Amino acid sequence: MQSTEIEQEPEAISSLTAADRCDECGAQAYIRVELATGELLFCGHHGNEKREALQPIAISWLDETEKLLAR
């Protein structure tokens, strides 16, 4: 009997939308941090404030703060 392996594509990290809110203050989120225990969303201010502590343990770090300057 042959076993078949099913290849799974890695989940694509989707862009943040206006519906995504900062876990600290409720402002629009521009930073998504994936940790082993879950996901955190931050506005630019709180994401930058927590970057030093969280980046070493983050699985992924999506920073879309450039959208703040886009016209």
In a domain, 37, yes or no: yes
Q: The whole model's pTM is what?
A: 0.78
Q: Does 8 score more than 90 pLDDT?
A: no
In a domain, 52, yes or no: yes
d(CA 64, CA 38): 19
d(CA 56, CA 27): 25
What pLDDT was estimated at residue 42? 98
In a domain, 15, yes or no: no
In a domain, 6, yes or no: no
Strands 38-42 and 60-63: unpaired
What pLDDT was estimated at residue 29? 98
In a domain, 3, yes or no: no
In a domain, 54, yes or no: yes
In a domain, 24, yes or no: no
Considering its fold, how many domains does the chain have in total? 1
In a domain, 56, yes or no: yes
Q: Does 71 score more than 80 pLDDT?
A: no
